[in-house]
Amino acid sequence: MTTLIDDLGHEVALDGAPSRVVSLVPSLTEALATSAPDVLVGATDWCTRPADLAVARVRGTKNPDLAAIADLAPDLVIANQEENRELDVRRLRQRGIRVWVTVTESVPQALDSMGRLFVDVLRQQEPGWLGEARRLWGSSTPAPTRTVAVPIWRDPWMVIGARTFTGDLLARLGLANVYADHADRYPSVTVEDIQRRDPDLVLLPDEPYVFTPEDGPEAFTANRTALVSGRLLTWYGPALVEAHRELKALV
């Protein structure tokens, strides 16, 4: 028996390398399906990568089917502090199910968390894409060259605020988030407030709100806008390699 400490400081006792894992996080599901597919037995309905993923579905990230998870007899469930509810994590643990919780509020933190998951928890080699992501994103943040705002919802409008993975990722591309000084991580704002801050670029992702050419850009006639895959802004698995290439080309 080995006892490890997850990203939130919770002790997780493991009999050995987990062989039946349920993932409640799309980024982690993609990472496991890419580099440790044999251990993955369940995932949420929101886990859309890879497209041919064939595992049991356990409903959503915010409302997982706890009975369905238990029926899969996992030796580990993987969750994330931001994407999953503490209540569900607690209820799974009350059922005797081991849960490993990750925390990913910056690019370095996400990379280190993924490394611990594969090496310490799953007892596998660090995947090649993770090493490439470390090389691409590095450990330093350049001086900003432009400003950006990232709406993630409308009616009401919400944007990326402070202390977020997305904000840190954009900073590493030289983009300063105009809401980085906000007290909230995902503040509710108005279009008028965004325009007052006058970002050089407004990025409109396709998740969680699905912005489209007809739904979003029309609100920002005075600012340059760009539609972007939400996966490139928020997923911290293999998508990080794609994100570096595609977002650099975009911005």
Give the pLDDT score at 250. Answer: 82
| Final residue before a domain boundary, out of 69, 102, 136 | 136
Q: How far apart are CA 158 and CA 52, in angstroms?
A: 32
Query: How many Å apart are CA 73 and CA 21, to the nearest integer?
Result: 9
Look up tokens 């030289």; give the residue.
174
Those residues of the chain that have pLDDT short of 70 are: none
Split into its structural domains, the chain has a count of 2
103 shares its domain with 214: no
**Do 194 and 91 fall within a single domain?**
no
**Residue 158 contacts residue 152 (beta carbons within 8 Å):** yes
As to burial, measured by CB atoms within 10 angstroms (0-12 exposed, 13-18 middle, 19+ buried), residue 167 is buried
Last residue of one domain, picked from the residues 105, 136, 167: 136
- Point out the domain boundary residue: 116, 136, 156: 136
* pLDDT value at residue 225: 97
**Count of other CB atoms within 10 angstroms of residue 85:** 15
**Do 131 and 158 belong together in one domain?**
no
Specify whether 159 is located in the same domain as 89.
Answer: no
Nearest to 152 by CA among 162, 143, 160, 164: 160
Same domain assignment for residues 187 and 124 = no
Burial of 101 (0-12, 13-18, 19+ CB in 10 A): buried
Same domain as 201, residue 181: yes
Q: Are strands 2-5 and 11-14 parallel, antiparallel or unpaired?
A: antiparallel
pTM of the model: 0.92
Residue 249's pLDDT is 87
Domain membership flag for residue 245:
yes
Pairwise CA distance, residues 153 & 247, whole Å: 20
Q: How far apart are CA 47 and CA 26, in angstroms?
A: 4
Q: How far is CA 222 from CA 26, 188, 211, in A?
A: 35, 21, 18
Report H helices in the chain.
26-35, 66-71, 86-94, 107-116, 128-137, 165-171, 191-197, 230-234, 239-250
Look at residue 141 and tell me if it is in a domain.
Answer: no
Query: What range defines the domain where residue 112 resides?
Result: 2-136
Helix (H, G, I), strand (E, B) or coil at 207: coil
> Which residues, 6 or more positions from 2, have their beta carbon under 8 angstroms from its beta carbon?
13, 14, 16
Q: β-strand 151-153 against 157-159: which pairing, if any?
A: antiparallel
Strand order in the sheet with 21-23: 56-57, 40-43, 21-23, 76-80, 99-102
Which has the closest alpha carbon to 59: 74, 47, 44?
44
pLDDT computed for residue 85 by the predictor: 97
Q: Is there a single domain that holds both residue 119 and residue 26?
A: yes
* Residues 209 and 153: beta-carbon distance below 8 Å: yes
Q: What is the pLDDT of residue 141?
A: 85
In a domain, 83, yes or no: yes
**Residues 179 and 96 reside in one and the same domain:** no
- For residues 198 and 192, give the distance between their C-alpha atoms in angstroms, rounded to a whole number: 10
113 with 208, same domain? no
Write the pLDDT tens digit of every residue in 198-210. 999 999 999 999 9
> Cα dist. 241→135, 188, 235 in Å?
10, 30, 10
Instruction: Supply the pLDDT for residue 228.
Output: 97
